[in-house]
């Protein structure tokens, strides 16, 4: 029996369930893999399972007992989530974690710490966490969650049991989209093919597929001509917003539209587009740019996306991206 909210990752689920059944649970796990494939979902389910009050062998959470309900709602005192504060996880957060590891769990069988985006620990925080990993308390479980394990110190990696979460098969994402969003086979297939195995990215595409918001961004972008009107560049940059979340969302929208441009250029089939309502803009742009130029622009957008994720200067990053995209 698999965890109900988690799509795919059967091998990973089985490994965790066997650890609970045998009582051989490591003091620290590293859940790693691309974003949006179920790492955080699985970590929360595992926290429910090890603290579940039901008499089911604790292999899976019952989701009905008080412990499961409180963990689901995020108010269980023995399940603590550590997240970045701004760009980093700072030493104060790790010291708070360390102070809690010294005591027995308040209610549950185990105290579980979920460290999201663990690669964002600054050096001081990583060194502090290493001390906790070197002297583990058997009543605590640490789960480090990351899509970039190579950015963590080798000393931390060596002290965690690693569980890799794999990109999901296209068929799994199609089933998810049909079940959760009511899409037909064709629409679900288009989004699944562009999601690169990530349910999270598939969700983003659904969210970004709101016709009015997508149309406004693409219309502003395609209308920009920085050679004739340099100010057009800055107007378009301003439209990306000022928060990292808003900027990355709109960068994904622009990247997905370029995917449509490439698909239309190669196939001429508007039925394969993520945004068929923008086919007139997509067709016009496909006629003006080569396939190599489309791939170049996607790389430029990806570079800007990664820079924003790493807390680069937002305005400078977007202006540089626009200069490159508009061939200034």
Q: What is the pLDDT of residue 212?
A: 63
Residue 255, in any domain of the structure: yes
Summarize pLDDT for 160-187 with one digit per residue, the tens.
999 999 999 888 888 888 887 787 777 7
State residue 28 phi and psi, 5-degree precision. -150, 135
Q: What is the pLDDT of residue 180?
A: 79
Write down how long the chain is.
Answer: 328
Name the band, by pLDDT with cuts 50, 70 and 90, for residue 210: low
Handedness of CA 80, 85, 86, 87 (dihedral sign): negative
Residue 179, in any domain of the structure: no
Alpha-carbon distances of 176 from 87, 132, 172, 272, rounded to whole Å: 32, 39, 6, 19
Summarize pLDDT for 47-102 with one digit per residue, the tens.
999 999 886 555 688 888 999 999 999 999 999 999 998 888 999 999 999 999 98
Q: What is the pLDDT of residue 220?
A: 82
Does residue 155 sit in the same domain as residue 250?
Answer: no
Residues 6+ apart with CB under 8 A from 31: 39, 42, 43, 143, 144, 145, 146, 163, 165
Q: What global pTM score does this model have?
A: 0.74
The answer, yes or no, to whether residue 2 has pLDDT greater than 50, is no
Q: What is the pLDDT of residue 328?
A: 47
Alpha-carbon distances of 282 from 222, 270, 315, rounded to whole Å: 9, 9, 27
Tokens of 311: 């807390």
Do residues 65 and 77 touch, judged by C-beta distance below 8 A? no
Does residue 15 sit in the same domain as residue 145?
Answer: yes
Does residue 19 sit in the same domain as residue 159?
Answer: yes
Residue 72, in any domain of the structure: yes
List, as own/partner pairs, every contact residues 174-178 make where C-beta atoms lie below 8 angstroms and the sequence separation is at least 24, other chains included: 175/7, 176/7, 176/202, 177/202, 177/206
Q: What is the pLDDT of residue 94?
A: 96
Q: What share of the chain is helix, strand, coil (3-state, %, to 5)?
A: 60, 10, 35
Q: What CATH number corresponds to the domain at position 137?
A: 3.40.50.300
As for how many domains the chain has, the answer is 2
Q: Which of 17-21, 56-60, 266-270 has the lowest mean pLDDT?
A: 56-60
Q: Are strands 140-146 and 111-115 parallel, antiparallel or unpaired?
A: parallel
Is residue 40 helix, strand or coil? helix
Q: What CATH number corresponds to the domain at position 275?
A: 1.20.272.10
Does residue 89 sit in the same domain as residue 24?
Answer: yes
Averaged over 227-251, what is the pLDDT?
A: 78
In angstroms, rounded to a whole number, what is the distance separating the alpha carbons of residues 93 and 81? 10
Answer with the one of 107, 140, 164 that is the final residue of a domain: 164
How is residue 169 annotated by DSSP?
P
Name the band, by pLDDT with cuts 50, 70 and 90, for residue 134: very high
Domain of residue 158, residue span: 10-164
The arrangement of strands across the sheet holding 111-115 comes to 79-82, 111-115, 140-146, 28-32, 161-164
Does residue 118 sit in the same domain as residue 214?
Answer: no
């Amino acid at each position: 029996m698999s965890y109900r909210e988690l799509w795919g990752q059967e091998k990973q689920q089985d490994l965790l369930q066997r650890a609970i059944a045998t009582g051989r649970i490591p003091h620290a796990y590293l859940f790693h893999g691309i974003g949006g494939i179920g790492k955080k979902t699985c970590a929360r389910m595992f926290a429910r399972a090890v603290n579940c009050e039901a008499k089911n062998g604790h292999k899976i959470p019952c989701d009905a007992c008080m412990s499961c309900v409180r963990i689901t709602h995020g108010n269980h005192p023995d399940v603590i989530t550590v997240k970045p504060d701004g760009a980093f996880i700072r030493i104060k957060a790790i010291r708070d974690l360390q102070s809690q590891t010294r005591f027995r769990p308040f209610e549950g069988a185990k105290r579980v710490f979920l460290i999201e985006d663990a690669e964002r620990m600054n050096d001081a925080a990583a060194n502090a966490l290493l001390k906790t990993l070197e002297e583990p308390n058997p009543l605590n479980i640490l789960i480090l969650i990351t899509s970039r394990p190579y950015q963590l110190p080798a000393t931390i990696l060596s002290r965690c049991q690693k569980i890799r979460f794999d990109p999901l098969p296209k068929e799994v994402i199609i089933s998810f989209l049909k079940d959760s969003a009511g899409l037909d086979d064709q629409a679900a297939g288009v989004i699944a093919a562009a999601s690169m195995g990530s349910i999270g990215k598939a969700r983003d595409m659904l969210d970004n597929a709101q016709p009015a918001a997508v149309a406004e961004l693409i219309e502003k972008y395609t209308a920009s001509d920085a050679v004739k009107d340099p100010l057009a560049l800055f107007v378009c940059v301003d439209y990306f917003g000022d928060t990292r979340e808003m900027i990355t969302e709109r960068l994904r929208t622009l990247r997905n539209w370029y995917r449509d441009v490439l698909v239309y250029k190669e196939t001429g089939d508007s039925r394969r587009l993520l945004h068929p309502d923008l086919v007139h803009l997509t067709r016009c742009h496909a006629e003006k740019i080569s396939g190599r130029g489309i791939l170049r622009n996607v790389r430029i957008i990806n570079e800007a996306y990664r820079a924003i994720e790493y807390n680069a200067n937002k305005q400078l990053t977007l202006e540089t991206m626009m200069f490159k995209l508009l061939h200034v």
